[in-house]
Structure 1
């Protein structure tokens, strides 16, 4: 379906870009198990967004020098060819990196001369294949809607993954996920617009920081055990 010219209907499936002559496969999506995310900044101007995982629980079950080794090979497609024999782009091959949705993000202001300005936001999230949805939601909430980091990570999770399904996080207390969301006004309106809505839980674990004056404002996703910590400026 082509992109709609108005916001009153759903987009549908996005058209792919031109990736050259190599067919792009769609391997099996893997469930997320135990990814963590940290957004951090210090008084010296250093900052980092870290999304870390060992893939499945306990990774490869092998520990080396106190660290569990991951089993990140599961992020590749287990089947090297699709049903018609076309090689899958995400197949296992020497020298390749597996597909990943991890999206630790730093946002910088634009300087008057067009160059990179000071750091404004730090964010990221666990969540497997829907990490990108969580990060984009947080960025839109802070950049476009003017919400603070805690508000941004706490609001309803939503998004789509280039399928006809629109995700609305049924784990949020403001969403009525009973009867497949049929009694929730947001879900009702989306379905009237032609969306196929899923209200399955979207248990993100987003973290976010926003630069404010001489310090930072932080937000930790209430869906997981994260907290905001820091020192007062001296």
Structure 2
């Protein structure tokens, strides 16, 4: 598949709520460029591109290439991504959907055992069936075709050199390698991280990846076709078809992959316009959460007020009930986006927030909703997020993932393959025979919690961006950070450091040790028994433009960096 072929693929153009744009207006002569990413080496790779005069998309490609090497537990070229792109000259947003798709021979019951029961998670996640057709590279290729300034072949040098010369295993990667995860026992993971004496690498060890360096050289020379045809594509197919539970991916699946351009979904949030990807992303849930919170007095409270955290938890539960029920791939299922965001519907949902937490709330019935079964998708924490602004003021807010730690644990040409097919519901129907909106189907994109968000001023100038890692908890992580930064007016770094609280269904998880005993007691009195859980694994990166200055932050739970481009 040639590079020209990739960009001539028909694009699915979806309507949204940000269709009207201002006439072309030149930005300020020179904006303060920046890169915010989860790893200093990745941030530096992006900054080097900006310093050479590259665009935000150029820098994003360099960041992703480096993340695939130094943060392979979170994202990579074998995975997928959503990019929210802001064009400063037109003040227009474009969503680039690089979500993986199910192979053409995928079946609704592919994650069921012979008795018709869902496979155990650890078995499914390591299977060849778990890998969807990777989309990140094709999506980045399309975005570069439309917004790149530097040549594609010039964007991979930092990652290629680092792969060949080696990098120091970071504390976070070392910690995850020592964890009790099924993927850590996968043969490719064991081989890749094995030292000469047979022991597993730990933080501080030097890790080289010559196979990845060689692939980057071919990717630089051949363009995205290096992933979707030829020797790498053949190895991807072979690796996914290998036991146990081999998948059905073919060379045709890879050759036929199409990134999708979508209209951003936008709504007013406080003094801003918040814009997110539409389904199959969960951006509609993010907007609904903020709209619910606007109907409370959370903004007049603060991080030491138990009522503020209670309101956040209850609004989160209402949002998740709706998101879990209705969001899926809009090419296969009708999604009631407008109904979910209708002010009258949000008013009615907000009135369900009472004085104390009750049983898990049920999904509502927004206008346009179909009768679908309660969702049973098991979505794990993972993923990475980064933000780039170039000197012209163009911005990329991008969330990228291979799903769980090291994806399926299967490696090709120095990068891990995703396990995104496990983001589908394992069961296609419920006991009553009602279909799951997020069931597997050939060519379908699984629902995603990835929500790269961009904030605009009322006249559609760039005002900020935010996004996170964390599986289904992404919405809670981003929501908490927005409340802390916008409503409580905390500096971005301090906002991201606020404790995480993830309230979904009957569960209240979070960073128990970061809340005071008094706060935990007060929440308990309101029906919220906070327990440790997924709430520790956020990876939020955010920025607000305050009085013309860049207020950027990285999640202190990870190893991020905020780099500013010299004016």
Structure 2: unaligned runs, 5 residues or longer:
1-317, 319-348
Q: Which residue number corresponds to residue 524 of structure 2?
A: 191
Q: Aligned equivalents of 1:186 and 1:174: distance in 2?
A: 10
> Equivalent residue for 2:550?
216
Task: Indicate whether 1:80 and 2:80 are aligned.
Answer: no
Q: 1:28 aligns with which of 359, 377, 383?
A: 377
Q: Where do residues 130-145 of structure 1 align in structure 2 (5 Å cutoff)?
A: 130-145=473-488
Structure 2 distance, partners of 1:21, 1:204, is: 33
Of the three residues 448, 454, 469, the one matched with 1:126 is: 469
- Alignment root-mean-square deviation, CA: 2.6
Which residue of structure 1 lines up, in the alignment, with residue 508 of structure 2?
Answer: 166
Higher strand share: 1
1:108 and 1:95, CA in 2 relative to 1: closer, same or farther beyond 3 A? same
Query: Over residues 12-36 of structure 1, what are the superposed CA-to-partner deviations in whole Å (9 max), with x where a residue is unaligned?
Result: 5154233533414312323224x11
Question: Contact 2:378–2:422 (CA<8 Å) still a contact in 1?
Answer: no
Q: 2-side partners of 1:156 and 1:213: how far apart?
A: 27
Looking at structure 2, the residues matched to 220 and 7 of structure 1 have their Cα atoms a distance apart, in angstroms, of 34
Q: Deviations over 1:152-196 (max 9, x none)?
A: 1111112412x13333322xx5336xxxxxxx2111101111223
Distance in 1 (CA, whole Å) between partners of 2:364 and 2:509 is: 21
C-alpha distance in 1, partners of 2:494/2:555?
9
Distance 1:108 1:81, change over 3 A: same
**CA offsets per residue over residues 68-95 of structure 1, 9 Å max, x none?**
4422111001111223332222110124
What CA deviation, in whole Å up to 9, does each residue of 1:71-128 have, x standing for no partner? Answer: 21110011112233322221101242211111111011113xxxxx211111100001
Q: Counterpart in 1 of 2:491?
A: 148
Q: Is the 8 A contact 1:40 1:209 kept in 2?
A: no
Is contact 1:25-1:90 (8 Å) kept? no
8 Å Cα contact 1:158/1:167 also seen in 2: yes
Give the Å deviation of 1:54. Answer: 1.1
1:207-232 Cα offsets, whole Å, 9 max, x none, are 01111344412101111111221234
Q: TM-score, normalised by structure 1?
A: 0.80
| Equivalent in 383, 393, 399 of residue 45 of structure 1 | 393
Q: Provide the TM-score with structure 2 as the length reference.
A: 0.35
Alpha-carbon distance in structure 1 between the residues aligned to 2:441 and 2:495: 39
> Which one scores higher on RCO, CA 8 angstroms, separation ≥ 6?
2
SS of equivalent to 1:49 = strand
SS in 2 for 1:228: strand
Residue pair 2:373, 2:429 contacting (<8 A) in 1 also: no
Where do 5+ consecutive residues of structure 1 fail to align?
112-116, 177-183
Bigger Cα Rg: 2
2:562 aligns to what SS in structure 1? coil
Q: Following the alignment from structure 1 to structure 2, what is the Cα–Cα distance between the partners of residues 222 and 110?
A: 31
Q: CA offset at residue 138 of structure 1?
A: 0.9
> Cα–Cα, structure 1 residues 95 and 24, in superposed 2: closer, same or farther, change >3 Å?
farther
Query: Equivalent residue for 1:228?
Result: 562
Q: 1:216 to 1:14 in 2, by over 3 A?
A: farther
Residues 109, 224 of structure 1: CA spacing in aligned structure 2 closer, same or farther, 3 A cutoff?
Answer: same
Contact 2:397 2:454 in 1 (8 A): yes
**1 or 2, which has the higher helix percentage?**
2
In 2, the alpha carbon distance for the partners of 1:8 and 1:207 equals: 33
> What SS is found at the alignment partner of 1:37?
strand
Distance in 1, Cα, partners of 2:547 & 2:391: 12
Cα separation, 2, equivalents of 1:220 and 1:26: 32
Secondary structure at 1:120 match in 2: strand
Aligned residues: 216
